[in-house]
Amino acid sequence: MRAVVVLLPGLNRDRDMIAALRTITGHEPLTLWQTDTQLPARTDLVVIPGGFSFGDYLRCGAIGARMPVMRAVAEAARRGVRVLGVCNGFQILLEAGLLPGALMRNASLNFVCKTVRLQVVNADTAFTRGYRPGQVIDCPVAHHDGNYFADAGTLARLHDANRIVLRYAEGTNPNGSTDDIAGIVNSEGNVLGLMPHPENRIEPAHGGTDGRALFESALGLVSA
């Protein structure tokens, strides 16, 4: 499968993401710049990494979401191409309207940088089928704006359609996120956004490999 990493000025986890994809697939992922208007042919997975695109000006992800490259990403998502947004990438997917809701300042007002426990609430998605339902994994977080918010109707829809894919395990919510939400998918199941950084948990040197199955799932490397 062909993975493509979106690059925007101010992202800073792009090298980690590229390294993770290289380690898992054995080859270099392609990259896209903000001004690109077309995805490479046969793109299977688009990844938007974390960081602080455009300095978090206006709102986190607001400017990045409106760059030309995101129109190509949205169009690909409509065709069913898998799209993964991590941290600032999740914020960008929300600002681009590819996922519902918003990410607000952490309830503590502090930047949080630590390892949290995540529960795989829905292991029946293209991104999580490498996990067991209900499996609890370790994953790092590093963000200032990870406090997920959506109106009651949206939350009910997410819940009813099992679109809340990842939750902070009980007692570990680092940001005040509604319903402990750490990651959600779109209604078609091909767009996932999450605040934690699975790309920083894929080899023993990271202290664990719990994030690896997310990429293996998204890249079609685990059997359905």
Nearest to 68 by CA among 103, 33, 118: 33
Q: Which is nearer to other proteins, 28 or 151 (CB)?
A: 151
- Whether residue 201 contacts residue 207, with contact meaning beta carbons closer than 8 Å, is answered with yes
58 makes contact with other proteins (CB under 8 A) = yes
106 makes contact with other proteins (CB under 8 A) = yes
Among 35, 42, 79, 109, binds other proteins (CB under 8 A): 109
105 makes contact with other proteins (CB under 8 A) = yes
Among 107, 113, 156, 161, binds other proteins (CB under 8 A): 107
Containing 7, the helix (H) or strand (E) segment is strand 3-7
Residues 115, 140: Cα–Cα separation, whole Å: 4
**Cβ at position 43, least distance to other proteins in Å:** 27
1 makes contact with other proteins (CB under 8 A) = no
**Cβ at position 152, least distance to other proteins in Å:** 9
Q: What string of DSSP letters covers 63-89?
A: TGGGSHHHHHHHHHHHTT-EEEEETHH
Choices 17-25, 58-66, 187-195, 200-208 (CB under 8 A): range interacting with other proteins: 58-66
| Sign of the torsion formed by the C-alpha atoms of 200, 203, 208 and 214 | positive
62 makes contact with other proteins (CB under 8 A) = yes
Q: What string of DSSP letters covers 30-41?
A: EEEETT--SPPT
66 makes contact with other proteins (CB under 8 A) = yes
Containing 165, the helix (H) or strand (E) segment is strand 164-168
150 makes contact with other proteins (CB under 8 A) = yes
Residues labelled catalytic? 87, 197, 199
Residues near other proteins (CB under 8 A)? 58-59, 62, 66, 94-95, 100-102, 104-109, 147, 149-151, 176
